[in-house]
Amino acid sequence: MGKVDIVSLGEAMIEFNQTQPGSREYLQGYGGDTSNAIIAAARQGASTAYITLLGCDTFGDELVALWERENVSTAAVGRDPDAPTAVYFVTHGPTGHQFSYLRAGSAASRMTPADLPREVIEGAKYLHVSAISQAISASACDTVFAAIEIARNAGVKVVYDSNLRLKLWPLARARAVIRETISQCDVFLPSYDDVVHLAGVDDAEGIIDWCLAAGAPVAVLKLGKEGAIVATTQRRTKVAGQRVDAVDATGAGDTFAGALLARLAAGDEIGEAARYANAAAALATTGYGAVAPIPRAEAVRALLAQRTPAR
């Protein structure tokens, strides 16, 4: 395969998303944080590839077809005849959305460092990884660290999303692994809720202090409808939130990651890329599901041009 600018590594899943709170009807879609993010990057026009393992099953075929439709290269997608493609359910209630997973023993959870396509990573500008892939199994965690090592040795920038899922691993292990990974990445992309758990503090400044102390050269703290903060040891800049009619935040953080990566790969500086990513993420909350509402560049540009950001 030819070189691409952005490579993401992780687990994709088939999604069943409750049509409304309390309903017994579920809409089939697609999810998996890193897959959502790479699709978001591709929808902004970036050249992209995804690295994963799928089962040799219908759901695996559907995910391959999805990436092909979305212009995400599947050259580094493998199939495991002895394990299934993962599935998850999204339900909606008064406290927002909840995930229930059927992913233990999945094909992606059996990834090992030997599965990594070294040349695909080495040829990219950015490698995107997340803590969900580190949580699903010990071998997948090793695979993430091995991919980071390949990237760093080749001068490829590493963007890391904490995406803390306490249904997948205990907080103490998550904290240890995530702290270690922050020290190895170039851009750390946590959400406010993640770092409240990880750092044990709840004010944005304290959270950023924790991210920078953990070794992130740049931290972009996602604050949901409140926007984001871009921080380095020298400077902290607020990106204002966008007002939209939100119905489902599933995948919004991943859209932020993918859109940010796309704009960084296109040459934007980090503050401009974060402003764009924040608008893309806002639009991603206006429909149900992780993938269907991810906007394309025209919609993001229109929101940036037309709406007054929320204060």
Closest distance to ligand KDG from the beta carbon of 101 (Å)? 7
What residues numbered 113-132 form the site for ligand KDG, per CB under 6 A?
132
Q: Give the residue, chosen from 31, 60, 241, 293, that forms a contact with ligand KDG under the rule CB under 6 A.
A: 31
Cα of first residue to Cα of last residue in the chain, in angstroms, is 45
Of 70-78, 145-153, 193-201, 250-258: span binding ligand KDG (CB under 6 A): 250-258
For ligand KDG, how many residues bind (rule: CB under 6 A)?
13
Nearer to ligand KDG, 88 or 160 (CB): 88
Run of H or E including 272: helix 270-284
Residue 125 CB neighbours (<10 A): 18
Instruction: Indicate the residue type of 135.
Output: A
Instruction: Indicate the residue type of 269.
Output: E
Residue (of 262, 263, 247, 251) closest to 294 by Cα position: 251
Nearer to ligand KDG, 130 or 212 (CB): 130
DSSP string, 158-176: EEEE----TTTS-HHHHHH
Of 31-39, 52-60, 77-85, 297-305: span binding ligand KDG (CB under 6 A): 31-39
Burial 168-198 (b: 16+ CB within 10 A, else e): bbeeeebbebbbebbebbbbbbbbbbbbbeb
Q: What angle do CA 272, 12, 138 make, to 5 degrees?
A: 100
- The reply on whether position 99 binds ligand KDG by CB under 6 A is yes
What residues numbered 53-72 form the site for ligand KDG, per CB under 6 A?
none
Of 27-35, 118-126, 145-153, 257-265: span binding ligand KDG (CB under 6 A): 27-35
Tokens of 35: 């897959």
User: CA-to-CA distance for 189 and 107, rounded, in angstroms?
Assistant: 26
- The reply on whether position 36 binds ligand KDG by CB under 6 A is yes
- The reply on whether position 255 binds ligand KDG by CB under 6 A is no
Q: Give the residue, chosen from 224, 241, 251, 295, that forms a contact with ligand KDG under the rule CB under 6 A.
A: 251
User: CA-to-CA distance for 205 and 209, rounded, in angstroms?
Assistant: 6
- The reply on whether position 250 binds ligand KDG by CB under 6 A is yes
Of 29-37, 118-126, 178-186, 225-233: span binding ligand KDG (CB under 6 A): 29-37
Residue (of 207, 235, 219) closest to 274 by Cα position: 219
Task: Please give the distance of CA 268 from its chain centroid, rounded to a whole number.
Answer: 19
- The reply on whether position 258 binds ligand KDG by CB under 6 A is no
Of 30-38, 190-198, 202-210, 277-285: span binding ligand KDG (CB under 6 A): 30-38
- Contact between residue 240 and residue 24 where contact means Cβ atoms under 8 Å apart: no
- The reply on whether position 194 binds ligand KDG by CB under 6 A is no
- The reply on whether position 161 binds ligand KDG by CB under 6 A is no
Q: Give the residue, chosen from 7, 8, 33, 276, that forms a contact with ligand KDG under the rule CB under 6 A.
A: 33
Q: Which residues bind ligand KDG (CB under 6 A)?
A: 31-33, 36, 88, 99, 132, 165, 250-251, 253-254, 290
